[in-house]
């Protein structure tokens, strides 16, 4: 069990560590206006930030709000750049050290050397194993209703305080968490948001593994899957999880949560997974085809080069390379010679 963090704030609060947080925060974003302006006087800004954090006079600034529409409508709240440096510093120096070692190996979101691709590969391995030992079994697929918007901030800080006993660190975390005064909901867009969300549902992870003794359990953020031998086990497990979420974390599962037979395979992290293959879901295929079609038009009209277009599909390529998509790729991807 990882040790608690005590009296580390002043030790970790150095000009060098804050500058390092700045360098990491600006990576691949150095052409953004706010970062360009910060870079012009970065030494002065870092010294100013250091003094604020040292004297505990730091106040979190406001947010820029915008919306994204893929894969679904989401409200994004982006903090000011100087605050993003603070987020990076507190996460990298305290939250990772305190919590990453205690996360289950089958929790995958935003954890180095894991991610959605490893999650899908591990789920497929589990499907093959369960097929071998049980032949037929049941799958419990769960998704938390409006997860980020439903996280209770007081409960979140209570969970964090079990591992972080440093009063100054907790002061800073309270300043970040309550930068928006609402008691429920954390902002999507902060560097802290993903680790906060993982810390919160780690309580459920521990309950499922250690109290319910579930062996085959996999979670990517608020999307999770469980394999059990019988329908009765699945139904009982679902009931206990609903009770725990309601009573301990003030959450509930959404309508996509269901129990079904193993022969159907399972949708997880955007893939349709069974013991034989990992396929992209129809919604993912549609999105990819639309993206490629638009890029082809832009290349043909001279708005983009093939090389520039590749940058726009890098994320998609990383997404599809783990799936069985040979025929799909042959159908939708152009060759370099197509537009020459």
Q: Which residues of the chain have pLDDT under 70?
A: 1-2, 70-71, 281-292, 307-340
- How many Cβ atoms from other residues are within 10 Å of residue 316's Cβ? 15
Please give the structure tokens belonging to residue 197.
């969300």
Going across the sheet that includes 271-273, the strands are 266-268, 271-273, 278-280
Q: Please compute, for residue 210, the number of CA atoms within 13 A of its CA located in the half-sphere on the CB side.
A: 9
For residue 52, what pLDDT is reported?
A: 97
Contact 28, 36 (CB under 8 A): no
Give the Cα separation of 273 and 223 in Å (integer): 14
Contact 124, 275 (CB under 8 A): yes
For residue 213, what pLDDT is reported?
A: 97
309 alpha carbon, distance to own chain's centre: 26
For residue 71, what pLDDT is reported?
A: 64
For residue 89, what pLDDT is reported?
A: 98
For residue 221, what pLDDT is reported?
A: 94
For residue 29, what pLDDT is reported?
A: 87
For residue 63, what pLDDT is reported?
A: 87
271 alpha carbon, distance to own chain's centre: 17
Q: What is the pTM of this model?
A: 0.84
Going across the sheet that includes 223-228, the strands are 216-220, 223-228, 138-143, 258-261
Contact 77, 187 (CB under 8 A): yes
Give the Cα separation of 132 and 229 in Å (integer): 12
Please give the structure tokens belonging to residue 99.
């919590």
For residue 271, what pLDDT is reported?
A: 87
Q: What letter would DSSP give residue 68?
A: E
């Amino acid at each position: 069990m990882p040790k608690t963090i005590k009296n580390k704030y002043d030790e970790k609060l150095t000009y060098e560590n804050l500058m390092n947080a700045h360098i990491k925060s600006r990576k691949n974003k150095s052409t953004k206006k706010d970062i360009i302006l910060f870079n012009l006087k970065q030494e002065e800004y870092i010294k100013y930030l250091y003094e604020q954090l040292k004297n505990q006079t730091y106040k979190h600034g406001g947010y820029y709000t915008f919306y994204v529409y893929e894969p679904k409508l989401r409200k994004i709240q982006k903090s000011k750049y100087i605050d993003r440096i603070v987020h990076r510093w507190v996460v990298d120096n305290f939250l990772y050290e305190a919590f990453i070692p205690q996360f289950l190996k089958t929790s995958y979101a935003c954890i180095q050397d894991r991610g959605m691709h490893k999650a899908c590969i591990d789920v497929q391995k589990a499907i093959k194993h369960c097929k071998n030992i049980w032949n037929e079994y049941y799958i419990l697929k769960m998704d938390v209703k409006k997860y980020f918007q439903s996280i209770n901030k007081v409960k979140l800080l209570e969970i964090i305080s079990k591992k972080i006993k440093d009063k100054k660190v907790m002061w800073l975390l309270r300043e970040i968490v309550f930068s928006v005064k609402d008691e429920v909901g954390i902002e999507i867009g902060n560097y802290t948001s993903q680790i906060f969300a993982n810390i919160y549902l780690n309580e459920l992870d521990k309950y499922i593994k250690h109290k319910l003794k579930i062996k085959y359990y996999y979670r990517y953020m608020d999307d999770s899957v469980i394999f059990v031998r019988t329908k009765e086990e699945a139904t009982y497990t679902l009931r206990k999880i609903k009770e725990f979420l309601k009573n301990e974390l003030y959450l509930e599962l959404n309508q996509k949560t269901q129990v079904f037979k193993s022969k159907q395979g399972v949708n997880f992290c955007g893939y349709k997974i069974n013991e034989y293959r990992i396929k992209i879901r129809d919604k993912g295929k549609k999105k990819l085809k639309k993206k490629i079609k638009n890029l082809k038009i832009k290349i043909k009209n001279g708005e983009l080069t093939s090389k520039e277009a590749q940058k726009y599909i890098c994320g998609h390529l990383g997404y599809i390379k783990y799936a069985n998509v040979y025929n799909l790729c042959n159908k939708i991807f152009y060759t370099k010679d197509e537009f020459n």
